[in-house]
Amino acid sequence: MMVQKTSGIYQLTQIPAIYAAFQRMLGGERARQELVATHIRPAPGARVLDFGCGSGAILPYLGPVEYVGIDLNADHIAQAKAVFGDRGTFYAGDFGSLPVEQHGTFDLVVCLGVLHHLDDARVRELVMMARRYLAADGRFVAVDPVFEPGQAFVARWLAKLDSGKCVRTAPQYAGLVKGGFGNSTTTVRHDLLSLPYSHCITSANATTGGPRRPNVLDS
C-alpha cells in the first residue's frame, strides 16, 4: 500500500512545478550531483531503471545512460516526457506494471525518495521487482529520509513531517532490502541539503544474493 499524507501542503507537492521549486530551494540540485557521484555511480552507457522517477529530475545528472522511468503520478510523467522525452523512456503507472518484455535487464535500479511512501509489504515487492530487472552484476540504490539516533532536532522533525508515512531507521531500510538481495549496505548523510536533513542511502548488489528469480527476460 502507498502510505502518504495527501492534505493541504502535501497536495501541493503532487504538482510537478511546485515539487521542483521546493527541491531547488532546499539544494536538491547539489544533492543529486553528490548522490550520483558518490552513491549511484553509473558507468557510461549503463542501463538505469528508476522506480518512482517523478518528473525525471535525476536524469540530467546521470551522464550518458539508457534510462527508463516509471511513476504513479501521470502529471509527473507528462512533465518528464515533455522535458526529457528524447533522453529516456517514461511510463505512468505502478512500479509493478512496467512492461518487462520491452526491456532487457538493467545495470542499476534506483529508487529515490520512494520507499518511505510504501509500507513494508510493498517495499518487499519493489525489492523483488528490482532484483528481477537487474543484470547479474547490477546494483540497487534507494535514497530516503531516515530516523537516526543523534540526528539534528530539525532533521528529525522534517522526517516526521514528510508526506511519506513510512520513514524508517537505517537498519529497517537495510533489513527490507536485504530480504530481497541477501545483502545491503546503508550510509546515512546529514549534509546533502541546505538545511538539517538526514538521508539514508541503501544499496545492494544483485551478485551476492543467490539465484535471481526467473524472469521473462531470461527465457
Ligand X SMILES: C[S@@+](CC[C@H](N)C(=O)[O-])C[C@H]1O[C@@H](n2cnc3c(N)ncnc32)[C@H](O)[C@@H]1O
User: Which residues lie near ligand X (CB under 6 A)?
Assistant: 2, 52-54, 57-58, 70-73, 76, 94-95, 112-114, 117
Kindly state the smallest distance separating residue 152's Cβ from ligand X, in Å.
21
H-helix or E-strand containing 160? Answer: helix 153-161
Alpha carbon 140 to chain centroid, angstroms? 9
d(CA 28, CA 26): 6
Other beta carbons within 10 Å of 118: 24
Residue nearest ligand X, Cβ-based:
54
Kindly state the smallest distance separating residue 113's Cβ from ligand X, in Å.
3
Kindly state the smallest distance separating residue 211's Cβ from ligand X, in Å.
26
d(CA 139, CA 108): 5
H-helix or E-strand containing 22? Answer: helix 16-25
Closest to ligand X by CB, 50 vs 148, is 50
Kindly state the smallest distance separating residue 32's Cβ from ligand X, in Å.
8
Angle between the N-to-C axes of helices 74-84 and 16-25, in degrees from 0 to 180, rounded to the nearest 10: 70
Closest to ligand X by CB, 46 vs 49, is 49
Closest to ligand X by CB, 70 vs 146, is 70
Give the CA angle between residues 69, 82, 133 to the nearest 5°.
10
d(CA 189, CA 50): 21
Kindly state the smallest distance separating residue 138's Cβ from ligand X, in Å.
19
Closest to ligand X by CB, 95 vs 133, is 95
Q: What is the DSSP letter of 114?
A: -
Closest to ligand X by CB, 46 vs 112, is 112
